[in-house]
Amino acid sequence: MSTLIEHDQMNNQRLLPRIALIACGSFSPPTPMHFRMFEIAKDFFKTQGTHHVVGGIVSPTHDSYQKKGLVAGTHRFAMLKLALQSSTWIKTSDWEIQQAEWTRTLSVLQYHQNYMNNYINSPLEGDMNGTLPGWMPPGLRERQDGVQLKLLCGADLLESFAVPGLWADKDIEDIVGNHGLVVISRYGANPEKFIFESDLLTKYQKNITLITNWVPNEVSSTMIRRLISRGQSVKYLLDDRVIDYIQMQGLFNCKT
């Protein structure tokens, strides 16, 4: 019986629209909650039976973003790779940190979505001029339909759309209208009210997926940096390999 059920689930996945999830941010350092968001979203879409999630991408921001506590992109990329060693489907992309300057979130979404869909539509023998980037989800050519890349974020990013001068309205419209948002919010938050109060978000609310995280985790990168700079333990708050890397590189004013 279980084999038949698994077979039916696989057939259903072949019919569902394909999406990938991307999270953009500092990741200085990356915490388990950054990755839990992916798992929560994937479980949601699987339970709803509306989309097939083919992969997850983590894109650390460029060094020129100049946010407090931001260490070099090479360090953040290395920590992400270490933290994601156990994941079979979430990968990290260094495209953003390799650019000459800070890149708008919309451009990050467009680049990765276009790359995936150009690969799906390119001649099989070409393989996009050689080696594929490490962030590419596997098996994209098993189907000919394209993949939509959705921005995975917390409710705080959704609310940042209202901060004057932080986002261009055209960018918000393109992100929500052409890609879509997957918003993970803590229990008790009210993202629906925020969407209702925004004419632009209400216009595209069918492209906004709201998911409640029922297992809250308040550990933030800011809190981790504070503990490290004070010489206090962050064991069990970060992946051991990330802790070892921080200590080895002396990041965040680490006191060994």
Whether the per-residue pLDDT at 196 is higher than 90: the answer is yes
**138-152 burial by CB neighbour count: b if 16+ within 10 A, else e?**
eebeeeeebbbbbbb
Q: What is the rounded average pLDDT of the residues 111-119?
A: 96
Which of 6-20, 84-98, 190-204 bottoms out in mean pLDDT, i.e. has the lowest?
6-20
Whether the per-residue pLDDT at 9 is higher than 70: the answer is no
Q: What is the rounded average pLDDT of the residues 222-236?
A: 95
Q: What is the rounded average pLDDT of the residues 159-174?
A: 90
Q: What is the rounded average pLDDT of the residues 86-100?
A: 97
The pLDDT confidence band at residue 195, using thresholds 50, 70 and 90, is very high
- How many Å apart are CA 217 and CA 213, to the nearest integer? 9
Tokens for 9, please give them. Answer: 């689930």
CATH code of the domain made up of 18-120+138-249: 3.40.50.620
Report the pLDDT value the prediction gives residue 1, as an integer from 0 to 100.
Answer: 55
Report the pLDDT value the prediction gives residue 101, as an integer from 0 to 100.
Answer: 95
* Conformation bin of residue 139: beta by default, left when phi > 0, alpha when psi is -120 to 50: left
Whether the per-residue pLDDT at 236 is higher than 50: the answer is yes
The pLDDT confidence band at residue 124, using thresholds 50, 70 and 90, is low
Write down the mean pLDDT value for the chain: 91
Question: How many alpha carbons fall within 13 Å on the CB side of residue 176?
Answer: 25
Whether the per-residue pLDDT at 4 is higher than 50: the answer is no
CB 93 within 8 A of CB 112: yes
Report the pLDDT value the prediction gives residue 28, as an integer from 0 to 100.
Answer: 94
Q: What is the rounded average pLDDT of the residues 177-185?
A: 95
Report the pLDDT value the prediction gives residue 173, as an integer from 0 to 100.
Answer: 95
Report the pLDDT value the prediction gives residue 226, as an integer from 0 to 100.
Answer: 95
Q: What is the rounded average pLDDT of the residues 147-155?
A: 96
Report the pLDDT value the prediction gives residue 13, as an integer from 0 to 100.
Answer: 61
Of the candidates 78, 115, 16, 34, the one whose C-alpha atom is nearest the C-alpha of residue 245 is 78
Residues of the chain above pLDDT 70, percent: 91
Whole-structure pTM value: 0.91
User: Do strands 18-25 and 90-92 pair parallel, antiparallel, or not at all (unpaired)?
Assistant: unpaired
- How many Å apart are CA 160 and CA 155, to the nearest integer? 9
The pLDDT confidence band at residue 82, using thresholds 50, 70 and 90, is very high
Whether the per-residue pLDDT at 153 is higher than 80: the answer is yes
Residues of the chain above pLDDT 90, percent: 77
- How many Å apart are CA 177 and CA 179, to the nearest integer? 6
Whether the per-residue pLDDT at 135 is higher than 50: the answer is yes
